[in-house]
Amino acid sequence: MRIKKLLPLLAALVLVFGFATITEASNMNKETTLDARQQAIVTIAAYTTSGDIEQLKPALNEGLDAGLTVNEVKEVLVQMYAYAGFPRSLGGIWAFMGVMDERKEKGIQDEEGKGASPIPADLDRDAYGERVRTDLSGLKEIPTTKAPYQEFSPIIDTFLKEHLFADIFARDILTHQERELATIACLASLGRAEGPLNFHMGAAMNTGLSEGQMHDFIKVLDARVGKKEAESAREVLASVLAARK
């Protein structure tokens, strides 16, 4: 009799734990892939870097359709100047202007999205940029010794801290994770940038991208951007993962 009374409770527990297991498995699966927005950031950054406008235009449309706001797309394109140069960045912006005109003619109303929050006038950009770079490196404490390139050319270190990791990364239209995803897509497409790509792949993972998502990033490159770019990035990722383990 006692067992019969316990059956409903046991059944309920099975349902609860079964649902929890399924939910956990679903979350784990989700963490192994990039979502549609993230994939769009990858292709937009890659095609902007290569200057392949014919491929960039569909990628821009796909990004907007996937939920990227107009300002988020603009921000990816603007950030590309720091890695691929102004000509590529401006080419991407011109392409986006054309895509927006075409979508408006079709009656498509895209969400503008939020703009960047004001940066405090008294922000110590050197300290802020140093802290951001340290966090991206996965370090808790700011290094007390300088890298050889910092000693050799202090001004480039200043530009990195005060402009890239302060002026740009402080703009909250994109998260640091989204910025790193755009960066590794750019560097993988740029070619012969294994050193920076190594750092930024590690940084991307330090912002929360999982190992599975990084492998999925390679798959997106392979399927959408190019075999050569994917293979080069795969080799760098293997090195990054080995170092982290």
User: What angle is formed at CA 233 by the lines to CA 53 and CA 174, rounded to 5 degrees?
Assistant: 60
pLDDT at 31: 75
pLDDT at 173: 98
What mean pLDDT is predicted for residues 164-187?
Answer: 98
d(CA 30, CA 133): 28
Predicted confidence band at 17 (pLDDT cuts at 50, 70, 90)?
A: very low
pLDDT at 111: 98
Name the residue with higher pLDDT: 95 or 28: 95
Collect all residues with Cβ–Cβ distance below 8 Å to 125 and sequence separation of at least 6. 161, 162, 163, 166, 167
pLDDT at 206: 98
pLDDT at 162: 98
What mean pLDDT is predicted for residues 98-124?
Answer: 97
pLDDT at 80: 98
Predicted confidence band at 7 (pLDDT cuts at 50, 70, 90)?
A: very low
Hey, how many other C-beta atoms are within 10 angstroms of the C-beta on 100?
17
- DSSP secondary structure string for all residues of the chain: -HHHHHHHHHHHHHHHHHHHHHHHHHHHHHTTS--HHHHHHHHHHHHHHHT-HHHHHHHHHHHHHTT--HHHHHHHHHHTHHHH-HHHHHHHHHHHHHHHHHHHHTT--------PPPPPTT--HHHHHHHHHHHHHT-SS--SS--HHHHH-HHHHHHIIIIIIIIITT-TTS-HHHHHHHHHHHHHHH-S-HHHHHHHHHHHHHTT--HHHHHHHHHHIIIII-HHHHHHHHHHHHHHHHHH-
Asked if the 36-108+176-244 domain carries CATH number 1.20.1290.10, the reply is yes
Predicted confidence band at 27 (pLDDT cuts at 50, 70, 90)?
A: very low
Sketch the domain layout of the chain as residue ranges: 36-108+176-244, 124-169
C-alpha 190 chain-centroid distance: 16
d(CA 184, CA 1): 64
- Asked whether the CA dihedral 16, 20, 22, 26 is positive or negative, the reply is positive
Average pLDDT for the chain = 91
pLDDT at 24: 36
Collect all residues with Cβ–Cβ distance below 8 Å to 203 and sequence separation of at least 6. 136, 137, 138, 180, 183
What mean pLDDT is predicted for residues 134-149?
Answer: 96
Share of the chain above pLDDT 70, in %: 88
pLDDT at 26: 39
